[in-house]
């Protein structure tokens, strides 16, 4: 079941397979020294118990073999905050905290709303358009580019590379995908290094200036600057695009829910939370046991991997009644879609702000309908749409 979820061609609808896995109990052994947990409590446990750590040596070996350091994509993955353990993780996270406070995000919301409105106006002009190409891909690209300080002429340039790099987050990355990810890592890091060098320090609001200042006052070691910007840039495009695509597809598939939202019987905030629960852009994340331990009554050896299947946890019937249904008025418990614990997604407020602004703009249309066949991206762990053709009437 695990292989058909992640290793072979991914299924269009993985959720019945998660239920098969849940039925096998947890933790369930899914490969040599690799376990999976599917319940809400166990996933939360794996993400918050500090005996579970990130082990890049093991991840590198698993994805790239003994010579994994020859792959620049895996070297970059290892340099990212996402893979860092304390105390280094704390140094990196603190260096960014001031740039990601709720106050700052609130200030950014005005910019996000303006970009969403412009893109919606363009959709209305077109009438028929692919929602992913003309909206879902453009909103996060524009927002994160302004946030980082990427010049306008370069903003659309690196989307293909980000998707190529993200293959490193798949559980069954192929040699060919890894080669493409290496090229993408090289291109992106060279570009980011150039941007940082050109940015200079000062009182500018961009993330680049913030990082350059942090490096100048030595709160951030200089060699951490490129991977840190890389992490933010990379984390923010495909994920948000997938939230918008998965969310719109769910709404179009549930006309009564769309109607409730139009009539303001449900709030945009709860609808976006339900989109994140029902079909999360990141389906699972892994940790390694830093020591020998017992999980759910099963002995886990030091170095074993445990995959927290957050998409399955989001449908844990013990936590979410009628878990398979898409109910925009649901009062949702804290979700695992942005992770949990020390690596909890730094960009969660920026991501939800974009989704709320996007759906607020789209709900202004008199009608919005699917106009053709949609297609999923070929990736399994990063779950989203490659195309979602729609017709809108203003």
Residues that bind ligand HEM in the complex, under the rule CB under 6 A = 81-82, 93, 144, 231-232, 235-236, 239-240, 243, 280-282, 285, 337-339, 343, 345-347, 350-351
> Toward ligand HEM, which CB reaches closer, 240 or 268?
240
Cα 283 versus chain centre, distance:
9
Least CB distance to ligand HEM at residue 269 (A):
14
> Toward ligand HEM, which CB reaches closer, 39 or 140?
140
Least CB distance to ligand HEM at residue 236 (A):
3
Least CB distance to ligand HEM at residue 285 (A):
4
Least CB distance to ligand HEM at residue 72 (A):
20
> Toward ligand HEM, which CB reaches closer, 243 or 323?
243
Least CB distance to ligand HEM at residue 387 (A):
19
> Toward ligand HEM, which CB reaches closer, 30 or 162?
162
> Toward ligand HEM, which CB reaches closer, 99 or 330?
99
> Toward ligand HEM, which CB reaches closer, 22 or 146?
146
Least CB distance to ligand HEM at residue 243 (A):
4
> Toward ligand HEM, which CB reaches closer, 24 or 290?
290
> Toward ligand HEM, which CB reaches closer, 79 or 351?
351
Nearest residue to ligand HEM on Cβ basis: 347
Least CB distance to ligand HEM at residue 82 (A):
4
Give the residue carrying structure tokens 């890592």: 185
Can you give the chain as a three-state secondary structure string? CHHHHHCCCCCCCCHHHHHHHHHCCCCEEEECCEEEECCHHHHHHHHHCCCEECCHHHHHHHHHCCCHHHCHHHHHHHHCHHHCCCCHHHHHHHHHHHHHCHHHHHHHHHHHHHHHHHHHHHHHHHCEEEHHHHHHCHHHHHHHHHHHCCCHHHCCCCHHHHHHHHHHHCCCCCHHHHHHHHHHHHHHHHHHHHHHHHHCCCCCCCHHHHHHHHHHCCCCCHHHHHHHHHHHHHHHCHHHHHHHHHHHHHHHHCHHHHHHHHCCCCCHHHHHHHHHHHCCCECCEEEEECCCEEECCEEECCCCEEEECHHHHCCCCCCCCCCCCCCCCCCCCCCCCCCCHHHCCCCHHHHHHHHHHHHHHHCCCCEEEECCCCEECCCCCECCEEECEEEEEC
Least CB distance to ligand HEM at residue 86 (A):
11
Strands 293-295 and 305-308: unpaired
């Amino acid at each position: 079941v695990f292989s058909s979820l992640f290793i072979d061609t991914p299924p269009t609808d993985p959720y019945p397979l998660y239920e098969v896995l849940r039925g096998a109990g947890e933790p369930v052994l899914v490969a040599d020294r690799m376990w999976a947990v599917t319940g809400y409590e166990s996933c939360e446990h794996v993400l918050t118990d500090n005996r579970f750590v990130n082990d890049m040596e093991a991840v590198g070996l698993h994805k790239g073999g003994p010579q994994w350091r020859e792959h620049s994509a895996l070297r970059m993955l290892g340099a990212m905050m996402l893979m860092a353990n304390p105390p280094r993780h704390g140094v990196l996270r603190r260096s960014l905290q001031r740039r990601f406070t709720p106050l700052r995000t609130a200030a950014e919301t005005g910019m996000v709303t303006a970009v969403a409105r412009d893109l919606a106006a363009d959709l209305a002009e077109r009438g028929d358009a692919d929602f992913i190409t003309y909206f879902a891909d453009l909103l996060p690209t524009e927002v994160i580019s302004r946030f980082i300080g990427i010049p306008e002429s370069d903003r659309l340039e690196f989307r293909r590379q980000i998707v190529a790099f993200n293959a490193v987050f798949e559980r069954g990355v192929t040699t060919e995908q890894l080669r493409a990810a290496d090229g993408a890592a090289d291109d992106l890091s060279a570009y980011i290094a150039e941007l940082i060098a050109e940015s200079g320090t000062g009182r500018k609001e961009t993330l680049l200036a913030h990082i350059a200042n942090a490096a100048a006052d030595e709160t951030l070691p200089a060699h951490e600057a490129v991977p840190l910007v890389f992490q933010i840039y990379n984390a923010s495009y495909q994920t948000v695009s997938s939230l918008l695509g998965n969310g719109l597809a769910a709404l179009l598939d549930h006309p009564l829910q769309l109607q409730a939202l139009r009539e303001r019987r449900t709030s945009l905030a709860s609808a976006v939370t339900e989109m994140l629960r029902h079909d999360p852009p990141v389906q699972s994340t892994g940790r390694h046991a830093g020591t020998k331990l017992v999980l759910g009554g099963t002995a886990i050896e030091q170095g074993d991997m445990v995959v927290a299947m957050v998409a399955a946890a989001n449908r844990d019937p013990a936590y979410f009644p009628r878990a398979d249904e898409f109910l925009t008025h649901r009062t949702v418990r804290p979700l695992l879609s942005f992770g949990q614990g020390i690596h909890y997604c730094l960009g969660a407020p920026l991501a939800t702000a974009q989704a709320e602004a996007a759906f607020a703009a789209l709900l202004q249309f008199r009608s919005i309908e699917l106009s053709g066949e949609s297609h999923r991206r070929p990736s399994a762990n990063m779950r989203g749409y490659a195309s979602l053709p729609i017709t809108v009437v203003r």
